[in-house]
Amino acid sequence: MDAASIAAGRFLLGLYFFIPGIQKFADSERLTSYMQVHDIAYAPQLLLFAGIVSVVGGALLMTGRYVKLVAYGFVVYVLLVNLMLHNFWAMSDDMVAREMQNFVKNLGILAGLLVIAGYALPRPLTTRGWWQSDKAHV
């Protein structure tokens, strides 16, 4: 097992969620409209929740804390985003190629999350030692 490769991959996956999480706050009006076009109820509240989860979860992945829990949480998130926002099978012909590409790209992200979840050590859900990496909680 190459710990440096796993750490780099985990960091990059965390960054993949962290940066868009910040963008959810900076561009909330446009993103809310996009969600509403897809008939997502409570779009502003869900966008706020997604932004918080993306920033916090991304930071946790980047720093190696609660990796298994966060990775599995993001697996659910990616599946929901794919089914609700990148549903290329229900879009007009001019959108199919772009949304299919986003859908398949997200499957690759999902695969990476499953891999790091599989390698991550289990960690009890507790606030005790929350600042320490998962390795300290074996």
Query: What confidence tens digit (pLDDT) does each residue in 80-106 have?
Result: 999 998 888 888 888 899 989 999 999
Q: State the amino acid at position 71 in one-letter form.
A: A
Confidence of residue 133 (pLDDT cuts 50, 70, 90): confident
- The whole-chain average pLDDT of the chain stands at 91
- Residue 18 pLDDT: 98
Query: What confidence tens digit (pLDDT) does each residue in 32-80 have?
Result: 999 999 999 999 999 999 999 999 999 999 999 999 999 999 999 999 9
Q: Return d(Cα 93, Cα 107) in angstroms, integer.
A: 22
